[in-house]
Structure 1
Amino acid sequence: MFDKRLRQKLALQKEKGLYRNPPVVDDGDGRTVTVDGRTLVNFASNDYLGLGRCETLRKKASDAFSRYGTSSSSSRLVSGNASVIREAEKAYADYFGYEDAIFFPSGYQANLAILSTLFGPEETLLFDKHVHASTVKGMQLGTAPFKGFRHNSMGHLEKRLKSASGHPVVVTESLFSMDGDTPRLAELAELKKSHGFLTVVDEAHAYGALGTGGRGIAREVADVALGTFGKAMGLFGAFVLMPSLYREYLFNFASPLIYTTALPEAHAVTALAVLSEVERGDGRRERLSSLSRKLTRLLTDRGFTVCGEAHILAVQIGSEERAHDLVTKLFDQGYFAFTARFPTVPMGQAIIRLSLTANHTEKDLEDFSDALFRLSR
């Protein structure tokens, strides 16, 4: 009976065009991936600055793991609270302009910790309806009531603020992972002055790639900010920036932190090297911005509706089946792209999500836009 139920649900996914069976990637260099012996131009990577394959970082990571070993072998609350991890956390807090920081094994885990632990029945969480799935899951696991507001609608948020029963906490992102757009941060700052709420901002897709020195774009409004190493920073894991009081509270009450093995010391050493690369990465950021503008122009000139204000672009398709068919054909033409379908996006609003990296060439963009135009006719 149990196996039958699983098979039925999988069959239904296939009928709806929502079945997921990703190809196995054999190799890659940041700009391309190899699948079944074929080299494809990769538009599905979040390695925005190209640091994931940076030779300097690879050497420093190798040296760090050789010196410190491969595992912390303990949670942070037992013997895993290594001095080098604290050094790196403080360096990140200083660089991004916060009192303190905590490293986590993943952004998903970090969002679970923040949203299920810091807030309780005395608060009301008001969240943008396009926030990441980990944010939603964190709220569901917590005890604070939560209500959504329309995506990037400061007017709707203000209505929610006026009717909130507990102390309001606004939860949003600085660069949305599927839409590629940003909230009206100046308007959000004005609302914050008027209503005095706390703000949690997921800057996972902005840190490293946007803002002065890659410091993101939401510091003016964010009391707590989440970043990931696994995107523009080319590593793995995540970090949360916050006041020292919040860090102390999480160390005492956050299950996703207390009951998990700490990241290894070598990770912290490599994270410090990453921070140096991010700080001097203006050239990479400028190139990424230029490539993003060019691809947007190429696609819109060919009649596509493209959303996105930075290095994440969402090409509007609509039908889940058509979107899947297009990325399959693009694969055959030598392009690795990702379709976001329900439940990642609302039903009937499927997109082809394009991620750019500073390692792409202008010819990559020109050839891709030509291919997509040809295949969509």
Structure 2
Amino acid sequence: MFEERLKQKLAVQKEQGLYRNPPEVSEGDGRTVKVAGRTLINFASNDYIGLGRSETLRKAASDAFMRYGTSSSSSRLVSGNASVICEAERAYADYFGYEDALFFPSGYQANLAILSTLFGPDEMLLFDKHVHASTVKGMQLGSAPFRGYRHNSMSHLEKRIKGATGNPVVVTESLFSMDGDTPPLADLARLKRTHGFRTVVDEAHAYGALGEGGRGIARGVADVALGTFGKAMGLFGAFVLLPSLYREYLLNFASPLIYTTALPEAHAVTALAVLSEVEQADAQRARLAHLSRRLTHLLTDRGFTVCGEAHILAVQIGSEERAHGLVKKLFDQGYFAFTARFPTVPMGQAIIRLSLTANHTEEDLEGFSDTLYRLMG
């Protein structure tokens, strides 16, 4: 019966066009991937400014792992609280303009820790309905009540604030991972001044790629901010920027941090090198912005509905089956793209999600837009 239940659920996934079977990638450089011996232009990478294949960072990581070894071999609260990790956390806090920082093995774990640990029955979490799945799971695991508000709607958020049964905490993203858009941060700041709530902002897709020096775009409103190393920062793991009191509390009570092996010391050393690369990447950020605008214009000129204000673009398709079919045809034409389907997006609102890197060329964009237009015809 157990195996039969699994088979039945997988069969339903296939019938609904929701089945996942990711291709095996043998090589990749951010701009391209090799699948089944074919090199494809990659529009599904989060290596936004090209640091994931940086020779400088490769050398820094290699030297760090040779010196410090490959594992911390302990949780953070036993013998894994290495001085170099603490040093790197202080450097990240200083660079991004926060009081303190805390490293995590993944962004998913970081969101679980923040939302399930910091807030309790005296608070009410008010979240944008398009936040990441890890944010939703963190709220579900915690003891604070939570309510959603319409995506990027400050009027609906204010209504929720006025009706909150506890101290409101607003939870949002600075650059939404599927929609590619940003909240009206000036309006959010105004609401924050008026109502005095706390704010948690996921800047995973903004850090490194947006803002002065890659510092993101939400420092003016975020009390707690989450960043990941595995996107524009070119590494792996995650970091949370926050007040020192919050850091102390998470170290004492956050299960996703307490009961897991700490990141190795070599990671922290490499993370320090990442900061230097990010600070010097103004040219890459400018090119990324240019390419993003260019692809948006190419697609909209061909009649596509495109959402996105930066390097993540969502091409509206609708049908799950049609979106999946288009991605398969794009693959055959030499382009690797990702279709976001239910439950990642609402049923019947499937998109082709495109993410750009500074290493893409104008020819890549023109070829992709021409091909997608032809396939839709």
Q: Given the two structures, how large is their TM-score scaled by the length of structure 1?
A: 1.00
Which amino acid in 1 is paired with 2:51?
L
Q: Which residue of 1 aligns with 2:184?
A: 184
Which amino acid in 2 is paired with 1:50?
G
Q: Which residue of 2 aligns with 1:50?
A: 50
Matched ranges for 1:8-47 at <5 A:
8-47=8-47
> Per-residue displacement from partner, 1:160-179 (whole Å, max 9, x unpaired)?
00000100000000000000
Which amino acid in 2 is paired with 1:252?
N
Matched ranges for 1:291-310 at <5 A:
291-310=291-310
Stretches of structure 1 lacking an aligned partner (at least 5 in a row): none
Structure 1 residue 154 and structure 2 residue 154: aligned?
yes
Counterpart CA distance in 2 for 1:21 and 1:138 is 27
Counterpart CA distance in 1 for 2:163 and 2:187 is 19
Counterpart CA distance in 2 for 1:193 and 1:3 is 55
Counterpart CA distance in 2 for 1:231 and 1:110 is 15
> Per-residue displacement from partner, 1:9-67 (whole Å, max 9, x unpaired)?
00000000000001000001111000010000000000000100011110110110011
> Per-residue displacement from partner, 1:233-256 (whole Å, max 9, x unpaired)?
010000000000000000000000
Which amino acid in 2 is paired with 1:193?
R
Counterpart CA distance in 1 for 2:270 and 2:96 is 17
Q: Which residue of 1 aligns with 2:99?
A: 99
Q: Which residue of 2 aligns with 1:124?
A: 124
Which amino acid in 2 is paired with 1:161?
I
Counterpart CA distance in 2 for 1:60 and 1:188 is 39
Q: Which residue of 1 aligns with 2:62?
A: 62
Q: Measure how far apart 1:338 and its partner are.
A: 0.1
Counterpart CA distance in 1 for 2:217 and 2:113 is 23
* RMSD, matched Cα: 0.3
Which amino acid in 2 is paired with 1:222?
A
SS at match of 1:41: strand
SS at match of 1:293: helix
Q: Which residue of 2 aligns with 1:165?
A: 165
SS at match of 1:143: coil
> Per-residue displacement from partner, 1:54-100 (whole Å, max 9, x unpaired)?
11110110110011000000001000000000000000000000000
Q: Measure how far apart 1:210 and its partner are.
A: 0.2
Matched ranges for 1:1-377 at <5 A:
1-377=1-377
Stretches of structure 2 lacking an aligned partner (at least 5 in a row): none
Counterpart CA distance in 2 for 1:280 and 1:59 is 17
Q: Measure how far apart 1:359 and its partner are.
A: 0.4
Q: Measure how far apart 1:296 and its partner are.
A: 0.2
Instruction: List, as ranges, runs of 4+ consecutive aligned residues in structure 1 with deviation greater than 3 Å.
Output: none
Q: Given the two structures, how large is their TM-score scaled by the length of structure 2?
A: 1.00
Counterpart CA distance in 1 for 2:46 and 2:196 is 34
Which amino acid in 2 is paired with 1:167?
N
Counterpart CA distance in 2 for 1:362 and 1:89 is 38
SS at match of 2:233: coil
Which amino acid in 1 is paired with 2:283?
G
Q: Measure how far apart 1:281 and its partner are.
A: 0.5
Counterpart CA distance in 2 for 1:30 and 1:59 is 18
> Per-residue displacement from partner, 1:141-183 (whole Å, max 9, x unpaired)?
0000000000000000000000001000000000000000000
SS at match of 1:72: coil
Which amino acid in 2 is paired with 1:71?
S
SS at match of 1:26: strand
Number of residue equivalences: 377
Which amino acid in 1 is paired with 2:216?
G
Counterpart CA distance in 1 for 2:36 and 2:26 is 7
> Per-residue displacement from partner, 1:107-152 (whole Å, max 9, x unpaired)?
0000000000000000000000000000000000000000000000
Counterpart CA distance in 1 for 2:10 and 2:195 is 46
> Per-residue displacement from partner, 1:279-301 (whole Å, max 9, x unpaired)?
01100000000000000000000
Once the two structures are aligned, what percentage of the paired residues are identical?
85
Which amino acid in 2 is paired with 1:86?
C
Counterpart CA distance in 1 for 2:228 and 2:330 is 29
SS at match of 2:25: coil
